[in-house]
Structure 1
């Protein structure tokens, strides 16, 4: 495996948003959708030279819902897509206690996906990437929600199979080691933002 130095990770943040953010915005357009591409520097051997080479390490997709406690969260998230609507349903129907304290303000960050390339897994780079996101575009977020399910691919084990359940358990354990807590079903919540600044 190539030697990847986490301090040399670089982030390309891209936001897609129509109009100017604000609570009077159309509900389906209200959450800000961000894509983050992560690159790093590796040094394969002594012949690499001093600069190493830039490689793609991973990517993340997330929604930031500004002032989530003072809007109709269910209506807003239901207007975006089914994945985000499911988060809205979980928060407003199953666990309204999780957003009750957001009535004083604060953004909700929904981590839709975070992938680290197979060559770079095993050293908690996902944690480093999420910390970077929380300290940049997510710095006004008071809560982070994610669904701890393995991402479906062409080579994924079937849902419910022992391999799938094992992957789901490992993923849940991974995010709990970051500080996430169970919310409902496969959803996890993180709300200790003081823990992310180094």
Structure 2
């Protein structure tokens, strides 16, 4: 992702003239000051004012700007080191200080970093919460593990499946009534079995 950019036009329409594209700028990351040269060459001096030098630094302070050329100035920002916004100015001067502009800069605290590791790909299960036992083990626990109980459950499910297919194929109110009787019978058997 490209760095944010603040542009200042140098010597546009007259010598020793500076025109910032913006008057204020907010960031939580490093950015680039782009000195946009126009009609004539210029020596430009840059500096950080206010509290900005606590969290930001320039790659250099003096630059030669060619006409019709762009001179990038890297401004490194350390927003991880702050908890509150830091405000200051980025000052750009030319003509030995005869012309200057100040851009109000606010450095916002960086969002907290999130560390992603391999444990996120695994299900989160605490040791105090054992995994539920399989269905067969639960049925054995409820009915004392009797094979006849398991057979009744399996037979009931098969009966419901057959009744559902028959109701679907035959259709009509009589087939639907038959399916209802089978389901109610299965539910009643479950009630008697697990009470």
Q: TM-score, normalised by structure 1?
A: 0.22
Which of the pair has more CA radius of gyration? 2
Q: TM-score, normalised by structure 2?
A: 0.23
